[in-house]
A and B are shown apart, each in its own frame.
Chain A
Amino acid sequence: MTDLTCKLLVIGAGPGGYVCAIRAGQLGIDTIVVDEAAPGGTCLNIGCIPSKALIHAAEEFHRITEADAGPLGIATSPPSIDLSKTVEWKDGIVKRLTGGVAGLMKRAGARFVAGRARFLDGKTVLVTKDGEETQIRAEHIVIASGSAPVELPFLPFGGDILSSTEALALPEVPKTLAVVGGGYIGLELGTAYAKLGTNVTVIEAAERILPTYDKALTMPVAKRLAGLGVTVLTDTKAEGYEGGHMQTDKGSIEAEKVLVTVGRRPRTQGIGVEELALTLDGPFIRIDKTCQTSMRGIYAIGDVTGEPMLAHRAMAQGEMVADHIAGHAVEWDKRAIPTVCFTDPEIVTCGALPGEIEDTTSSEFPFMANGRAMTCERDDGFIRVVYRDADHAIVGLQGVGAGISELSAAFSSAIEMGACLEDIASTIHAHPTQSEGLQEACLKALGHALHI
């Protein structure tokens, strides 16, 4: 058994943990980060990045499929895809990124210890790897253990029942796929497989897909799904899977594979968090404004601390915690956390939705009136601004449209900087871009939209 000591120990090398370690290293804090898998966590290994790779591949494939019938005069022959090669390419990207993260941590001076961590007490963690044990004592410990897909008791993962992890590494494109759960993960992957030619059925228990968003935002996605031939069954409950058939309360569906995406649970079990008796917030670890838990010296960041379970939230928390441990005056004061659904079209939200805050009004600009959107053959969707009536401060921005994820920076900057309608309306937005829709939505709110 090896004994190590450090000032800061980070459990989990996902986006929260590795950013915390890099920043702590920059600040000269003696830091160790522990993870049983490769650095990068769910995001880099089995989440954001590989799913975007698959979505891109599917989109490219689909474009070629559609080109023949399209208005651009392009003639092609039907493409084919070797999914194992796609997965290989995707794995290459993942490897490049995880290797990059390892390098960044090393350069910052943080040590990486591979293995599974378990708390012995509030200052000591035991790391196990292939029977070898390392005991690490630290002044400060950051729990960044992330989350795992929720399993349904009647649809246990394994075999043809896939979690998102397995769905990102299929050797070939399934003929039929049932997606249980119409949230963003299920729709992203379901759409990708539909574009690769799979006959996809989405089963959602709520009355519509993406139930956390409003109807206007999800409508273009629902339309596109229908166009891609995806069957969406809302108000439908999955009940079980047997012999290539998915059972629901509304009947049976043929499905070669079943993807279960009904949410993610924080990974607090198995690392000894129970023994520490930290105050919880439902299944999540309760934290204060500086991400401190109820036990002195122990911090928690990322998915274990609750919604929204997003990599960029975890990163910002990790950075802040490192600064806090270094003695800087910091606290969580973010005004808004943008969320992106890489559905087709993409959805971006940042800040308040219409009606979420009293005395606010919203204004929309449709891409139907945007030149760039037309030239991309995608004039579906819109950009919407939610502003306070009294002083025009922008409190929310949403958009749905092809490729709109890149506008998320404009959305979050506007809110974080405290912009008003007038600020955005009088900022020059490059032509021809979809971002003009943001300016136009603000102009429209002020009563003088130019292009609608």
Chain B
Amino acid sequence: MGIHAIRLPDIGEGITEAELTEWSVKVGDVVKEDDVLAIVMTDKASVEVPSSVDGTIAELSGEIGDQIAVGSVLIRIEVDGEGNEADIAATSAAPEPKKEAAPEPKLAKPAPKTEAPKPAPVAKPATPVARTQGTKPLASPSVRARARAEGIDLRQVPGSGPAGRISQEDLDQWIASGGIQQGQVTRGANTGIEEVRVIGMRRKIAEKMQLSKRQIPHISIVEEVEMEALESLRGQLNAKYKDERPKLTLLPFLMRAIVEAVREQPGLNARYDDEAGVIYRHGGVHIGIATQTPNGLNVPVIKHAEAANLWDNAGELARLADAAREGSIKIDELQGGTITITSLGPLGALATTPIINHPEVAIVGVNKMQVRPVWDGQQFQPRKMMNISCSFDHRVIDGWDAAVFVQKLKTLLETPAMLFVEG
């Protein structure tokens, strides 16, 4: 019998550590080869760590939320035969084999204890539940007496103890928070505080946002774009190809507009290594699309948007967005962006102040399209109007250049024929 250590595998180029987000097994579990042992998170993607052996889990090395370095031991598994760790005694969590009995072959057998049938009714783990109406609040007699003396209706006091039991401290807090007096028909102050650990994807997002906002002096420009022509073109294209090609949203047009605009201003399609002091201006336009997923914000990247047509970009966008939402997106599909689009669709508001996706230098935000009155020189005309809100890294992009870029986008979107003028 030996101990086989499973180390955090190399899970992507340049990744040196990953955050442990879930243990899929616990000590004592019997696992087979390829069973998932744990889930770790790297640069916005979840990676399952499989077992490479059959055996029994002997030790879990780390807590949920820990950063684990690639190559360090993640889990130790007790296996038949020799493990890959020479000295069993060196691993503290390994069971102490009885020395005198060590040669006995029966010790090598896995313990059969897990097979014992459980006695009938076993209480399931209790989870805090809202107090059912009609049941009396759990509280000791001294707490009840004090509540009565103070004229407090205990049914309204949140209890911090097991099963929502109300302690003297809960009562202190309720009184301190100016709790509601008995008989008054008012809303009770909810003094409960839920502790939510910032782990996994949320932590990644938090770190990324903090990095962007701390490192990059943002400059944001909001411009109004008339969308009549583009919307009309989009409608015609969708009508014409409705059976053959994916439906076009606004985004493929905007991607094309960005491709055109950065052709003249390559400094905007770039990644800025601020530590090295080098701006990498990319020839290819790799457009990140900020995407809301059940776990939070994700930014899949459409590579070489300049090399694809409207429909190809639309198809790729749909594929990546689905993959991101399902969690099946690959790490390299989340990396390598040179500029980002953020769009909240109908929730897009009048204006936003997008945060640049570090180390990129520009981000284009799309606001809500709506019909607004536009003065045409003689009268107000109803027009489909939309704002775009763009942010730039002011360290490397001057206000002038930023304004020129935004005006270029406006012109391209308002005169969509120019999107397709070659050259």
Contact = CB atoms under 8 A, between A and B. Distances in A.
Interface in B120-154: 121-124, 126-129, 132, 136, 138-141, 144-145, 148-149, 151
Contact of A418 (B123, B139, B149): B139
* Candidate in B119, B128, B129, B138 with the most chain A CB atoms within 10 angstroms: B138
B98 interface: no
Contacts of A333: 136, 141, 144, 148
Given A391-B162, A422-B162, A361 B128 contact: no
Interface string A437-452: 0000000111101001
Contacts of B165: 393, 418, 420
A389 interface: yes
Nearest to A388: B163
Contact of A445 (B122, B136, B141, B145): B122
Nearest to B161: A418
B162 A420 contact: yes
B122 A447 contact: yes
A452 B120 CA distance: 13
Contact of A389 (B123, B138, B140, B145): B123
A447 B138 contact: no
Given A329-B148, A418-B139, A418-B140, A449 B119 contact: yes
- Describe A's contact surface by its main secondary structure: loop
Interface string A358-385: 0001110000000000000000000000
A335 B137 CA distance: 10
Contacts of B127: 390-391
A356 interface: no
Interface string B149-171: 10100000000011111100000
Contacts of A420: 126, 162-163, 165
B118 interface: yes
Contacts of B140: 416-418
A423 interface: yes
Interface in A327-379: 328-331, 333, 335, 361-363
A102 interface: no
Nearest to B123: A445
A411 interface: no
Contacts of A362: 121
Given A423-B162, A449-B119, A390 B149 contact: no
B239 to A, nearest CB: 57
Contacts of B132: 390
A388 B124 CA distance: 11
A299 B162 CA distance: 38
A224 interface: no
Chain B binding surface SS class: loop
Q: Size band of the B side of the interface?
A: 20 to 34
Nearest to B143: A418
A387 to B, nearest CB: 7
Contacts of A422: 126, 162
Contacts of A421: 123, 126
A361 B121 contact: yes
Contacts of B161: 418
A445 B129 CA distance: 19
A361 B141 contact: no
Interface string A184-219: 000000000000000000000000000000000000
Contact of A447 (B123, B128, B136, B148): B123
A369 to B, nearest CB: 12
Interface string B161-190: 111111000000000000000000000000
Contact of B163 (A361, A391, A416): A391
Interface in A387-435: 387-393, 416-418, 420-423
Contacts of B148: 329-331, 333
A179 B123 CA distance: 43
Contacts of B166: 418
A446 B122 contact: yes
Interface in B262-298: none
**Which of B123, B126, B129, B162 gathers the greatest number of chain A CB atoms within 10 Å?**
B123
Contacts of B151: 329
Interface of B: 118-119, 121-124, 126-129, 132, 136, 138-141, 144-145, 148-149, 151, 161-166
Given A335-B136, A390-B126, A447-B122, 7 more contacts: A361-B121, A390-B129, A391-B129, A392-B126, A392-B163, A393-B165, A445-B122
21 contacts: A328-B149, A329-B148, A329-B149, A330-B148, A333-B136, A335-B136, A361-B121, A361-B123, A390-B132, A391-B162, A391-B163, A393-B163, A418-B161, A420-B126, A420-B162, A420-B163, A420-B165, A422-B126, A445-B123, A447-B122, A452-B119
Q: Which 9 A-B pairs have the closest CB atoms?
A: A418-B138, A391-B163, A447-B122, A393-B163, A392-B126, A420-B162, A418-B165, A417-B140, A329-B148
